[in-house]
A and B are shown apart, each in its own frame.
Chain A
């Protein structure tokens, strides 16, 4: 089976800046793939390499088995949902959605029919006559989605499409995008800096940093078994434990990762435990986040609501199950 998108040692350098540096990547057909990373990590440049807005400095990229280098964006069967939606303000919503078909020379009646269908797909039937300026942010986002989908792309690229929406809308759109992807079976490649979004939506996640992929895996892999300190810290702000600390508890001199929700906070020393001092508490609703100081090592713990909380400055004892302590591959 051919891969949907494949990077072989693909790089994109801007002068001395290595925006994307020798990236190897295979995205399977029909996969919901997330590229996760902080801003400037190269994830958006990767997306632009697939779209054709950038050309690799070296290495190669293929889309469904076809070499993509030198192929302009308008000859790729790939469509993009832009971060700012990039709707055409001078066209009606219907003409925006029908744009891709219009430039392909498809007749007015036929392309308007297809555009109407695409609008109902994103649950905006009957909005065709409006102008983009008359729509809300969430509606514009759906129009941008319909405008891309109407061309029946083989790969749909989404560049932080939910970034500008408020929390409630974002959660709705996450679910909708996911079910849409299942129905259509199109390969989705999704760029985001929000780890929660990546974990909840994607089949697989690639974590980017400094133009390189730090780890590729399923959301569980990434969350439970981070390979490096960066991944552990960036994806869900895990506690990164230094090798000396880990050696005391596991006997192995390696970097460790311990999720904040795996730490139990007690008041009295019961057998083995890490003595620490509570620095501050941060109420989050369903949970409370505790900042702890264990002999200079800063740790975070998350305690479900309803549990008795120590007061700030109080001495506490931290315990955790050995199997929750994940040892990372990163060399010491």
Chain B
């Protein structure tokens, strides 16, 4: 018999599902709770007391602000680069036929399938070979490698759904290439680009592995958190920052999900 949606699942299945979700999300909630604990040296359960003082402490720590601003700038610029390159690449792959098209498509997607540590090592050795000093831009370059993929995947899926004759119709009606892009192509892929861009931003914002290989002395927010965990002083500050990171990453991903709900999946969100 086919189960129709109205039939409810057996109790055991519901319990199993609930346990699975709890296993996934309880640790995150724990992090939130520790942001309010009064104990600063080690995490004890249950927290001996609750306080909001760590928010003020965090606010007044310049190193937090430095890391946060670096992360935001890196994420913004990597996303911008990814938007331009990803759109151009997806347009080329889905709009024209040329020799090696499939190969290029594969090569573009590869960075997201590759373990971050490989990307990181590869970039690091490439930078040192080329005598490029580690800087803000090396981080951006590292992040752009996987941000491009996210934008590319979203844009390609959208291009596949839009009719090719629309571009011809626009040209036929007297619009040159730029006008066609501005009035027809862009409005049709805008939501896909927005979704891809938000995802790219979120990915870049919490990236650790590639960053450790491509950053010099600077600390992005995730790297700063990693260092902070080793120091047994003002530990809840890390939790406060973690809460902020979770929110900053979650909101754009949710927004991206709702924007592209109508059909094409948020490709590459599994990284």
* Interface membership of B69, Cβ < 8 A: no
The distance in angstroms between the C-alpha atoms of A86 and B171, with both chains bound, is: 12
Number of A residues, CB within 8 Å of B: 26
CB within 8 Å of B: which A45-65 residues: 51-53
Interfacial residues of chain B within 177-211, with CB under 8 A of chain A in the complex: 179, 183-184, 187-188
Is there an interface contact between A72 and B171, defined as CB atoms closer than 8 Å? yes
Cα-based distance from A168 to B230 in the complex (angstroms):
78
* CB <8 Å contact, A147 and B173: yes
Q: Is the interface of B mostly helix, strand, loop or mixed?
A: helix
Determine if B168 and A86 form an interchain contact, defined as CB atoms under 8 angstroms apart.
Answer: yes
- Residues of chain A lying within 8 A (CB to CB) of residue B10: none
* Contact assessment for B172 and A79 in the assembled complex, using a CB-CB cutoff below 8 Å: yes
Binary B-proximity of A126-156 (CB < 8 A = 1, otherwise 0):
0000000000000000000001100100000
Question: Bound complex: CA of A53 vs CA of B163, how far in Å?
Answer: 16
Q: A79 contacts B173, CB within 8 Å?
A: yes
The answer to whether A151 touches B173, judged by C-beta atoms less than 8 angstroms apart, is yes
Q: Does A245 contact B (CB under 8 A)?
A: no
Q: Is the CB of A99 within 8 A of B172?
A: no
Alpha-carbon distance A78/B175, docked complex (angstroms): 13
Please give, as numbers and ranges, the residues of chain B lying within 8 Å of A73 by CB-CB distance: 168, 171-172
The answer to whether B172 touches A80 (Cβ under 8 A) is yes
> Which of B169, B174, B179, B183 is close to A82, meaning CB atoms less than 8 Å apart?
B169
**B:140-186 near A, CB below 8 Å:** 163, 165-166, 168-176, 179, 183-184
In the complex, which of the residues B165, B176, B183, B187 contacts A86, with contact meaning CB atoms closer than 8 Å? B165
Give which listed residue, B166, B179, B188, contacts A103 with CB less than 8 A.
B179
A84 at interface, CB cutoff 8 A? yes
A82 to B167, alpha carbons, bound, how many Å? 11
A88–B172 CB distance below 8 A: no
Residues of B within 8 A of A249 (CB): none
Check A211 for interface membership: any CB of B closer than 8 A.
no
* A103 contacts B173, C-beta separation under 8 Å: yes
> Taking the complex as formed, is A90 at the interface, i.e. its CB lies under 8 A from any CB of chain B?
yes
Q: How far is the CA of A83 from the CA of B165 in the complex (A)?
A: 9
Within 8 A of B (CB), among A201-249: none
Interface hits, B3-26 → A, CB 8 Å: none
- CB-nearest residue of chain B to A150: B173
Chain A residues within an 8 Å CB radius of B172: 51-53, 73-74, 78-80, 148
Q: Name which residue of chain B comes closest to A159, CB basis.
A: B165
* Nearest neighbor of B168 in chain A, beta-carbon distance: A53
Tell me the nearest residue of chain B to A82, going by C-beta.
B165
Q: How far is the CB of B237 from chain A (nearest CB, A)?
A: 47
Q: A99-B183, A103-B179, A103-B183 are in contact. Are A86 and B166 (CB under 8 A)?
A: yes
Assembly CA distance A210 to B78 (angstroms): 52
The answer to whether B169 and A104 have CB atoms under 8 Å apart is no
Least CB distance, A143 to chain B, in whole angstroms: 12
Partner of A90, one of B168, B173, B188: B188
- What's the least CB distance linking B185 to chain A, in Å? 10
Any chain B CB within 8 A of the CB of A100? yes
Q: Which of B163, B173, B176, B188 contacts A99 (CB 8 A)?
A: B173
Q: Is the CB of A103 within 8 A of B169?
A: no
A-side contacts of B174, CB under 8 Å: 74, 100, 103-104, 151
Q: List 7 A-B contacts (CB under 8 A).
A: A83-B165, A86-B163, A86-B168, A88-B166, A88-B169, A88-B170, A103-B170
B residues with a Cβ closer than 8 A to A are 163, 165-166, 168-176, 179, 183-184, 187-188
